[in-house]
């Protein structure tokens, strides 16, 4: 089954990095975040990726073209260019890289990928979010409910400490807890190819009209993910992910 990763945005809220590289290439540890996302899917056996490129697409293309040499030990004979690999750390992933336009919106990027999707069902996520999500359970949920789109719903951590008040007395304080109420779009979709026909042009956002239409038709269902989820929306998010990587990254399934 194909896994679509939307990796074409400009990531302006983390511009100290994205002035030079696209957001999916921002590193966490020794690998860009897009690698971490792919590892989540690959753990569950989904290794056929289509990456929708846009802003600084050449950086992502270059990374995957050079992936084997960047992640292996080798000897190069400079007299003739021959390369001898000593320790091959290559992965059994298939990665299709498609330029979908620098200014194209998320819906338009998906529409441009339609011809690359040769099955009725596919997965889709953004190039900046990590979770300890069970992809197999997500797919099983989608197939059992038979809707056009399954969206993973998450409850993010609060940006600031959460207070519980009774009159003016604080009865509970939690430093940056997971919010008790208020589900949001956490990415990690499963979709039927038919959904793409609801997207009209490049300037259409996936999260606006197309998903609003399927919601009104009762064809959008939520897979509730209650444990770890974190997007890399700004520098604070990035530093948190780097800290987790050094300690015990919850999104890496062992």
- Could you tell me the CA-to-CA distances from 184 to 119, 146, 188 in Å, in that order? 28, 22, 12
pLDDT tens, 182-206? 688 899 999 999 999 999 999 999 9
Contact (CB, 8 A) for 60 and 33: no
Instruction: Specify the length of the chain in residues.
Output: 254
Cα gap 115→122, rounded to integer Å:
13
In the three-class reduction of DSSP (H, G, I as helix; E, B as strand; rest coil), residue 170 is classed as: strand
pTM for this one? Answer: 0.87
Q: Residue 90: is it exposed, middle or buried by C-beta count within 10 angstroms (0-12/13-18/19+)?
A: exposed
In the three-class reduction of DSSP (H, G, I as helix; E, B as strand; rest coil), residue 205 is classed as: coil
Cα gap 32→107, rounded to integer Å:
24
The neighbouring-strand residues paired with 164 are: 172
pLDDT tens, 217-230? 989 999 999 999 99
Residue 145 has pLDDT above 50, yes or no: yes
pLDDT tens, 42-95? 999 999 999 999 999 999 999 999 887 777 777 888 888 777 777 666 788 999
């Amino acid at each position: 089954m194909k896994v679509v990763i939307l990796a074409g945005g400009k990531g302006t809220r983390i511009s100290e990095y994205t002035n030079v590289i696209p957001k999916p290439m921002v590193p966490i540890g020794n690998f860009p975040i897009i690698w971490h996302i792919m590892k989540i899917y690959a753990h569950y056996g989904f290794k056929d990726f289509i990456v929708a490129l846009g802003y600084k697409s050449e950086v992502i293309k270059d990374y995957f073209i050079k992936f084997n040499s960047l992640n292996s030990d080798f000897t190069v004979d400079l007299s003739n260019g021959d390369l001898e690999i000593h320790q091959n750390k290559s992965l059994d992933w298939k990665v299709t890289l498609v330029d979908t336009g620098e200014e194209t919106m998320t819906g338009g990027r998906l529409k441009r990928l339609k011809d690359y999707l040769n099955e009725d069902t596919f997965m889709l996520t953004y190039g900046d979010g990590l979770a300890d999500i069970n992809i197999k359970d997500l797919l099983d949920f989608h197939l059992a409910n038979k809707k056009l789109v399954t969206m993973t719903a998450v409850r993010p951590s609060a940006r600031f400490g959460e207070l519980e008040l009774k009159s003016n007395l604080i009865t509970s304080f939690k430093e940056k807890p997971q919010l008790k109420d208020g589900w949001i779009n956490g990415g990690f979709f499963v979709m039927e190819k038919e959904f793409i026909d609801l997207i009209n042009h490049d300037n259409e956002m996936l999260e606006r009209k197309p998903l609003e239409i399927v919601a009104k038709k009762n064809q959008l269902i939520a897979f509730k993910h209650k444990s770890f989820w974190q997007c890399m929306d700004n520098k604070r998010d990035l530093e948190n992910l780097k800290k987790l990587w050094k300690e015990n990254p919850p999104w890496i399934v062992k």
